[in-house]
């Protein structure tokens, strides 16, 4: 100790400690977003860098370093940091780049850093592709740590009229495309319309980590059949791209139904897959208007399935499209003797419709009338609020001004997954596994309280 006390008066030790402080200061400067107001965050760093010369005692030196590191970590976790160096976009097969790129060379887009758990992370748009007259693919720099399985989705947040709006979009690129991530969006509804109208290469979207249980059946060598309609092709496209890269001998059949030939997304790439990969069979069908001879006619039906899929009872089916199509396919496959466990589906459009219908919280004047006798207690924040009769827990919380994390609002994405500490709720979703339910987890967006309850929120 004496030795340390003696050393602290030595300029060389003070200089070494100061160097550590200055390194943290420089690193903070590098990590801060390039905006003037963030310069204020550097003031504590400057002050701490000077402390060794004013308080040259061991306890003060150690305390100064600890405080500086803590400050660095706090700022790192609470402030969006400057983008990291760019990840190179990977070129894909020939698709039409619809939105004209600016003629002047653009700076390389930055690869975003990983999101804080449960948070959103900025992702620059690298390119936009027009797939059909009303479907576009947005290619984004893939954020660090955004590992996903083919078929999953990301949650996208944008500001509309100054208010954050979120929606889930299926990923259409393959997990193997590590430099980018693509979402394919049909122009319908507020948010999708806005993405089409305003998002260009160089725009910034905010993404939350991939999620979802509708995934390519790995570790299984049974043939795969992908049944898609309209923009329901999106997660199936990710699975198909994954299948040709990762499962090159497993038979994969895509049956893809659209209204007219103009509505066929990814048509060049699908044709290329079918020609290049012998284990892949692709058949598209149109439901109205004239069609080229290579396309089938009508909706996917029993005969089409039997013609294209040799052994349905031994095939794993993945179905994505409007809810009515999913219901029809589920019934059809059951009638063909396909075990229910071999049919997986994503009622994504149904979820989106539900999201749009229920997004706005109930108007304030309705809240009193809607209040039931039940109380919702939030254990983390210590708040108690009235449950609104006939409303989900999420809606009741929002009506009371409490924001819970949520995206799809339809029991599809799992974003709102929360533990029920006490009470009973009716949670209408198949998303939660038995383990989750046994541990008390529920989805507040589709849960209605049956009495007083408490949430871990």
CB of 355 to ligand FES, least distance (A): 8
Which strands make up the sheet holding 204-211, listed edge to edge?
Answer: 163-170, 153-160, 204-211, 120-132, 135-141, 180-186
Task: Closer to ligand FES by CB, 123 or 446: give it.
Answer: 446
Task: Closer to ligand FES by CB, 64 or 414: give it.
Answer: 414
Q: What are the DSSP E strand ranges found in 174-250? A: 180-186, 204-211, 224-229
Q: How many residues line the site for ligand FES (CB under 6 A)?
A: 12
Cα-atom radius of gyration of the chain, to the nearest Å? Answer: 27
Task: Closer to ligand FES by CB, 38 or 153: give it.
Answer: 153
Longest CA pairwise span in the chain (Å): 93
Contact at 8 Å (CB) between 376 and 393? Answer: yes
CB of 406 to ligand FES, least distance (A): 4
CB of 381 to ligand FES, least distance (A): 19
Task: Closer to ligand FES by CB, 300 or 407: give it.
Answer: 407
Residues forming beta bridges with residue 122, ordered by sequence position: 206
Structure tokens at 365: 């004047």
CB of 239 to ligand FES, least distance (A): 21
Binders in 394-453 for ligand FES, by CB under 6 A: 406-409, 411-416, 443, 445
The angle subtended at Cα 431 by Cα 115 and Cα 420, nearest 5°, is 80
CB of 190 to ligand FES, least distance (A): 17
End-to-end CA distance of the chain: 48
Q: How far apart are CA 239 and CA 171, in angstroms?
A: 10
Task: Closer to ligand FES by CB, 48 or 351: give it.
Answer: 351
Number of helices (H), then strands (E), in the chain: 13, 19
The H or E element containing residue 324 is helix 323-335
Task: Closer to ligand FES by CB, 256 or 348: give it.
Answer: 348
CB of 203 to ligand FES, least distance (A): 25
Task: Closer to ligand FES by CB, 232 or 411: give it.
Answer: 411
User: Parallel, antiparallel, or unpaired: how do β-strands 224-229 and 252-258 relate?
Assistant: parallel
Q: Is 128 in the site for ligand FES (CB under 6 A)?
A: no
CB of 155 to ligand FES, least distance (A): 8
Q: How far apart are CA 382 and CA 377, in angstroms?
A: 7
The site for ligand FES (CB under 6 A) is made up of 406-409, 411-416, 443, 445
């Amino acid at each position: 100790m004496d030795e340390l006390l003696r050393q602290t008066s030595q300029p060389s030790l003070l200089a070494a400690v100061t160097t550590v402080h200055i390194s943290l200061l420089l690193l903070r400067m590098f990590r801060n977003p390039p905006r003037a107001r963030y310069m204020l965050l550097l003031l504590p760093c400057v002050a701490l860098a000077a402390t060794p010369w004013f308080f040259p005692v061991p306890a003060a030196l150690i305390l100064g370093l600890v405080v500086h590191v803590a400050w660095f970590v706090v700022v790192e976790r609470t402030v969006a940091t400057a983008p990291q160096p760019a990840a190179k976009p990977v070129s894909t097969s020939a698709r039409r780049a619809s939105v004209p790129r600016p003629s002047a060379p653009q700076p390389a887009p930055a690869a975003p850093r990983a999101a804080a758990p449960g948070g959103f992370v900025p992702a620059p748009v690298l390119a936009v592709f027009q797939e059909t007259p009303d479907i576009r693919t947005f290619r984004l720099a893939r954020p660090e740590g955004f590992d996903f399985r083919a078929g999953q989705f990301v949650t996208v947040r944008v500001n509309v009229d100054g208010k954050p709006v979120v929606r889930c979009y299926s990923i259409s690129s393959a997990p193997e495309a590590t430099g980018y991530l693509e979402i394919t969006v049909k122009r319908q509804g507020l948010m999708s319309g806005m993405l089409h109208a305003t998002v260009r290469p160089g725009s910034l979207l905010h993404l939350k980590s991939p999620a979802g249980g509708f995934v390519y059946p790995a570790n299984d060598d049974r043939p795969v059949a992908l049944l898609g309609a309209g923009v329901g092709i999106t997660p199936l496209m990710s699975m198909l791209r994954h299948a040709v890269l990762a499962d090159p001998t497993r038979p994969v059949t895509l049956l893809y139904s659209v209204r007219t030939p103009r509505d066929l997304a990814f048509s060049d790439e699908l044709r290329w897959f079918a020609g290049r990969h012998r284990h892949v069979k692709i058949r598209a069908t149109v439901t109205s208007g004239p069609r080229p001879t290579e396309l089938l006619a009508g909706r996917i039906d029993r005969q089409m399935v039997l013609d294209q899929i040799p052994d349905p009872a031994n095939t794993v089916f993945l179905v994505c499209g409007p809810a009515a199509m999913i219901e029809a396919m589920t019934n059809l496959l059951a009638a063909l003797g396909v075990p229910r466990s071999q049919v997986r589906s994503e009622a994504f459009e149904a979820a989106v419709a539900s999201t749009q219908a229920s997004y706005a919280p109930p108007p304030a004047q309705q809240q009193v009338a809607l209040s039931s006798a039940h109380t919702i207690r939030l254990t983390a924040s210590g708040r108690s609020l009235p449950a609104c009769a006939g409303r989900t827990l999420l809606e009741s919380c929002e009506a009371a001004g409490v924001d819970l994390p949520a995206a799809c609002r339809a029991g599809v994405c799992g974003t709102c997954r929360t533990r029920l500490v006490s009470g009973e709720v009716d949670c209408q979703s198949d998303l939660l596994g038995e383990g989750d339910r046994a541990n008390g987890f529920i989805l507040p967006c589709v849960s209605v309280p049956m009495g007083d309850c408490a949430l871990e929120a």
